[in-house]
Structure 1
C-alpha cells in the first residue's frame, strides 16, 4: 500500500504545483527574488562608483559570513527570523507595530535592574530571559490596548514608547554610574553550552513552526485571518476582534523581545548613549516581513539572506582589499538592499515577462494591433472633446444667458450657474466613461487575443496534452482513493492489486499520450521552421503594402498549428 499512497501523493503534488494558487504564490517568490537582486545590483554598482570591485566585495561578504563568521551569521538569522515573524503576524491583521525598539529597550531596562540586584551570572539567565520577554510583551499589549479601547493608532503610541524607554534606560544608566554605555552583557546567558547560536536558532525555528501550525491548522489561526481580512465581518460573525488583536500584539512583543535578547547578549554586548538614536533593530524586521509577503514560512529564507548580507558586509569592510571604503559603507549597502527590496509590490502588479510576451504576440497579430491603434486614436479624440467640453453649444448658450442676465437677478444667475455646472459634469463624466471603456477594450483585446494565441499555436499542443494527462491521471486517482479509503484487512491484497492495475493503466495511457504529443510537437516545429524561413524571405522582398498581407497570412498559418498537428483530439 505504501507505493500506492506514494503515487497518490505524487499526483496531488503535481496538481498543486500546476494550480493557480501555487503559481500565484510562486509569483510572489519571483517578485521578492527580483527586488532583492535589484538591491544587490544597485549596491554593487555603488561600490564600483567608490573605485572597488562590487562583485568581489559581495563574494567576500558572503564567503566570510558562511565561514569564519558563521556563528554570528546564524545569530543574526535567528534574530531576524523572530523580528520578521512578529511583524508579519501583525501585518496580517493590519497592525503596524513600530515599537519593536521600545519593547527591546524595556526588556533591557528591566534586565539591568534585575542584574544589578542579583548579578549577571549564567545561573540567573532563565530569570533574566523571562523578565526581558515579559517586559516587551507588556509594552506591546499596552499599545494594543490603546488601539482597541482608546482608538489610539498603534504607530503613534509605539513610536512614542520607543523614545520613552530610550530615555528611561539612559536615565537609569546615568543613575547607576554608567552614563555613556551600559555594562557589558554576559553572552553565556544566551548560549546553549559552548554554542553561540544554537539556542537562538532553535527558538526561532520552533517559533516559526508552532506559529505556522496554529495559523494554518487551528480555529484560532482561521479567526485571526478573518479579523485581518475584515474586522467588521469578523465582528458580525461573532469573532471578538479586539481579543485577537491583543493576542497578536502579545505574540509580537514575545518574538521581538526574544530577538532583542539574543541580539544584545550575543552580538551587541552593550548599548551606548553617546547619541540620541533609538536602536534600529525593531525596524529591521519590516522589510523582512514585507519581502516575505507576511508569509510565516517565507520569513525564514528572507531572514537568512538578511543575516548573510548584514554580517558579511560588516566583515568584508575590514579586509585589506576593501579597507579604503568607509566603515559606514556596510550599513549603506544593507540599506540600499532593504530599500530596493520594498519595491516588490511593483513586480507583483507589473508582470514584466507577461507584458513582453504580449508585445511579441501583438507584433504578429496585425489585425489586433490595428484594432488597438483605432482604440488609441478614439481615446485621443475623446480626450480632446473632454478638454474642450466648455465649448459645447449647450454650455455656451447657458454661459451667454448668464452674461445677459442683469447682475441684480442673483437667483437666476445662481440657477443658471448650477445648471451650467451640472451639464458640464454630465458631459465630462460621459467622455470619461467612454475613455475608460476604450482603455478596457484595449486590455481585453490584448488578453483575449493572447489567450487565443496560446491555445491555437504550438503552445496549445502542450496545453491540450496537460489537459488529457490530467483527465487520465485524476480518473485513476479518484478510483484508487475510493478503493483504499474503506477496505477490509482481509481484502487488502485484492484492493492493492486492483489499485496497481489502475495505476499501471493510467501510466501506460499517459506514456502513449506523451509519445503522440512529442510527435505532434516535432512535426509542428518543422512546419514552423520552414514557415519562418519563407516568411523572412517574403518579407524582405516586398513593399510596405505587401508586408501587411504577408504578416496576416503568416499569423493565420501559425494559428492553425494546434488544429493541424494535434493528435489528441
Structure 2
C-alpha cells in the first residue's frame, strides 16, 4: 500500500514537472505577465500624475485598497466584484468566437429596465419569485437583442461593432420614451427619474440577511463555472473557439459557422442581461435620462475581458481589482490627507483601463532577453567589431545624404537663377534617385544588422552556460517523459490483469441473458402458434377491403374517361354556336354526374355488404381464437413442451452458474497466488524505472558539471590570451 502511494506520488510529481515545462503553461504565463505588466505600467503612470499634483501616490493606493474593505464599503465592493465577473464573462464569450460585443451596455440596460418594470408593476411579488422571474426575463431579453447583431453578422457580414453600437442607442431612446411617458406610470417627475424600486416594493431585491453581495456572488460563481465548463469541456465550446480561431478552417471542417456565430452572441447577450439585472437591482435602482449616457459598467466589461485574456479563472482577480477601484477610488480623493479633485479618481481609473487595452503588447516585452543579448554581443570583441562596421557604414551613408542635401540646395539656387526649368527637373530627379538608393542601402544594412545580431546571439547562446543548462534540462525532460511512458505502460498491464474477474462476470451475465431470451422466444412461438391462421384470415379481410376500394375508384375513373371523347365531339360540333355548346355540354355533364352518382351508390352498398361480411367473419375468428386458446390452455402436450423448455433453461443456467463459480474460484486462487507476485513485480519495475531515472539524471548532472568546467577553462584561457 505504501509503495503504491509512493508510486502515485512520484507519477504526479513527474506529470507536474512536465506540465510546468510545456508550451501551454509558458503561453499562459506570458498572458499573466502581460496582464501584470499592464497593471504595473498603469500604476506607474498614475504615480507620476499623482506626484505632479502634489499628492502622495503610495498613500493614495494604500487608502484605495484599505477603504474598499472597510465595513461600510465591503458590501458594495463584493457586489461590484460579482458584477464585474459577469461583465467580463459576457464580453469574453464573444471574444472566444472572434466577435467584439460592444453592445453589453445596451443589452444590460434593456434587461435591467425590464427587471425594474417587473418590480414596479408587481409591488407585492415575493423575493424568490421576483429574483427568478427577473433572471429569466433578463437572460431572454439580452439574448434576443444580441441575436439580432449575431444574425446580421452571420447572414449579411455586417460588423458586430456597428450593429451593437446602433442597438445600444436604439435601446436607450426606446427606454427613455417608455419610462418618461406618464401613461405608463413609471416616471417620478419630482425626482426627474424613474420610481425607486426600493421604495415601491420591499421584497423585490437581492438582499440576504441585509447583505446585497451574497446572491449576486452566488449567481456570478455559478455562471463562471458553467462558462468554463462549456468552453473547455463541451463540443459547443470547442466549436465556438474553432470559429473564433479560423472561420474558413471551421467551414471546411463541416462546422455551421453562421449558427455558432449567432449562438456565441446569444450566450454573450444572455450574460449581459444577467449583468443588467444584478447592476440595476443592487447599485442603480433608478434610471435617469437627463444626460444621454449609457451605463459605464458595460464598457468596463471590455477592459476586464482584455486584461484577463478571456480566461475564466483570470477574470476573478481582475474583476476584484476593478471592483476595488470602482468602489473606493472616488472616495479616496476626498480624504483630508489627500484633498484631490473628484476627477482625479476617474483619471487614474481611465489610465489603468487604457494600459490594459494595450496589454497584448506586453507579451512581446522581454527586457531581460534584450539586455542579455546586447551584453553578450558587447563582451565578444569579434562580434562587436563586426557590429561597429555595420554602424560605420550606416553613418557614412547618412553623412553622404547630408552632403547631397547641402549640395542640392546650393546647386538648386544656381539652376533657378539661370531660369532653365528642364535642368532643374533633371537635377531633382537625379538627386532623388541618389537619395532613394542611399536610403535603400541603409534599410538593407539595418536588416542585415538584425539578422547578424540574432545569428551571433544564437551562436553565443549555444556556446554559453545557458545553452549547457538548456541542453541539460531538455535531456532531463526527455528522460522524465520516457520514464512516465514506461510507468503508464506497466500500470496499464497490471490493471488489465486485475480486471480479468470483472470480464468473466460480464461474460457470464451476457450468456445468461442470451439463454433466457432464446427460451422466452421459443415459449412465445409455442404458445402463440395457434393464432397464425386467424391472423392470416384477418389480414386477408383487410386486403379484400382495400382491393374493393381501389377497384371502385378505378371504375369511376374509367367512366369519367369514357366521356372525354363525347365532350370533344360536342366542342367540335358546336364550336361556332356558344349557346348550344354550353347547353349540350351541361346536359352531358348532368348525365355523367347521374351515372357517377348511381355508381357511387352501388359502391356504397357493396362496401356496406363487405363490412357486414367482415364483421361476421371477425366475430367468427374471435370465437375460434377463444376456443383455440381454451384448447391450448388445456393441451397437456403444449404444457409439457413449455415445462420442458423451462426445465432445460434452468438446467443450463445451473450448469453455467456452476461453471462460472468454478472459473471465479480458479481465478481467485490464481490471483491469490499470482497477484502478490504481480504486485511485487510491478512495484519492482516501477522502482527500477525510478532508479534508472535517478541514475540517468546523475549522469546528466555529471555531464553538465564537466561541460561547465570546460566552459570555465575556455573562458580563463581566452582571458589569458587577451
**TM band (smaller chain):** 0.7 to 0.9
The one of 190, 193, 197 equivalent to 1:185 is 197
What's the CA shift for 1:247? Answer: 0.8
Q: 1:369 to 1:73 in 2, by over 3 A?
A: same
Structure 1 stretch displaced more, 193-202 or 69-78: 193-202
1:351 aligns with 2:366: yes
Q: 1:374 to 1:223 in 2, by over 3 A?
A: farther
Which position in structure 2 is the counterpart of 1:272? Answer: 288
Which position in structure 1 is the counterpart of 2:28? Answer: 25
Is the 8 Å Cα contact of residues 464 and 711 (structure 2) preserved in structure 1?
A: no
Q: 1:382 to 1:486 in 2, by over 3 A?
A: farther
Which position in structure 2 is the counterpart of 1:88? Answer: 92
Deviation readout 1:105-164 (Å, 9 max, x if unpaired): 111222233223222652422112211221111111111112222332211221122122
Which position in structure 2 is the counterpart of 1:298? Answer: 314
- Provide the rounded CA distance (Å) in 1 between the counterparts of 2:41 and 2:259: 40
- Provide the rounded CA distance (Å) in 2 between the counterparts of 1:256 and 1:271: 18
1:330 aligns with 2:517: no
What's the CA shift for 1:316? Answer: 2.3
Is the 8 Å Cα contact of residues 373 and 457 (structure 2) preserved in structure 1?
A: yes
Is the 8 Å Cα contact of residues 31 and 348 (structure 1) preserved in structure 2?
A: yes
What's the CA shift for 1:274? Answer: 2.5
1:501 aligns with 2:688: yes
Is the 8 Å Cα contact of residues 483 and 689 (structure 2) preserved in structure 1?
A: yes
- Provide the rounded CA distance (Å) in 2 between the counterparts of 1:428 and 1:495: 77
SS at match of 2:340: coil
Aligned-pair Cα RMSD in Å: 3.6
What's the CA shift for 1:511? Answer: 5.1
Which position in structure 1 is the counterpart of 2:108? Answer: 104
1:446 aligns with 2:453: yes
What's the CA shift for 1:306? Answer: 1.5
- Provide the rounded CA distance (Å) in 2 between the counterparts of 1:341 and 1:169: 32
Matches within 5 A, 1:12-91: 12-68=15-71, 69-91=73-95
The one of 144, 161, 166 equivalent to 2:167 is 161
What's the CA shift for 1:508? Answer: 5.0
Matches within 5 A, 1:280-319: 280-319=296-335
Q: 1:13 to 1:427 in 2, by over 3 A?
A: farther
The one of 187, 198, 201 equivalent to 2:217 is 201
- Provide the rounded CA distance (Å) in 1 between the counterparts of 2:51 and 2:435: 53
The one of 134, 156, 161 equivalent to 1:150 is 156
Matches within 5 A, 1:351-370: 351-370=366-385
SS at match of 2:469: helix
- Provide the rounded CA distance (Å) in 1 between the counterparts of 2:274 and 2:89: 11
The one of 336, 356, 364 equivalent to 1:341 is 356
Is the 8 Å Cα contact of residues 109 and 169 (structure 1) preserved in structure 2?
A: yes
- Provide the rounded CA distance (Å) in 1 between the counterparts of 2:229 and 2:400: 59
Matches within 5 A, 1:235-254: 235-254=251-270
Q: 1:429 to 1:78 in 2, by over 3 A?
A: farther
Deviation readout 1:197-256 (Å, 9 max, x if unpaired): 222223223322222222223322222222112212222221111101111101111112
Which position in structure 1 is the counterpart of 2:467? Answer: 460
SS at match of 1:66: coil
Larger radius of gyration: 2
Deviation readout 1:260-292 (Å, 9 max, x if unpaired): 221222223323222221111111011112222
What's the CA shift for 1:527? Answer: 9.2
- Provide the rounded CA distance (Å) in 2 between the counterparts of 1:240 and 1:431: 54
Alignment length (residue pairs): 506
- Provide the rounded CA distance (Å) in 2 between the counterparts of 1:467 and 1:45: 44
Is the 8 Å Cα contact of residues 465 and 513 (structure 1) preserved in structure 2?
A: yes
Deviation readout 1:528-553 (Å, 9 max, x if unpaired): 7xx5xx9xxxxxxxxxxxxxxxxxx5
What's the CA shift for 1:58? Answer: 0.4
The one of 207, 219, 228 equivalent to 2:235 is 219
Q: 1:185 to 1:45 in 2, by over 3 A?
A: farther
Normalising by structure 2, report the TM-score.
Answer: 0.63
What's the CA shift for 1:330? Answer: 2.1
Which position in structure 2 is the counterpart of 1:139? Answer: 145
Which position in structure 2 is the counterpart of 1:472? Answer: 479
- Provide the rounded CA distance (Å) in 2 between the counterparts of 1:460 and 1:355: 17
- Provide the rounded CA distance (Å) in 1 between the counterparts of 2:343 and 2:217: 28
- Provide the rounded CA distance (Å) in 2 between the counterparts of 1:67 and 1:454: 53
- Provide the rounded CA distance (Å) in 2 between the counterparts of 1:496 and 1:7: 12
Which position in structure 1 is the counterpart of 2:598? Answer: none
- Provide the rounded CA distance (Å) in 2 between the counterparts of 1:197 and 1:445: 59
What's the CA shift for 1:59? Answer: 0.8
For structure 1, the residue ranges without an aligned partner over 5 or more in a row are 389-420, 535-552, 558-569
What's the CA shift for 1:333? Answer: 1.3
What's the CA shift for 1:83? Answer: 1.4
What's the CA shift for 1:384? Answer: 9.6
Q: 1:364 to 1:270 in 2, by over 3 A?
A: same
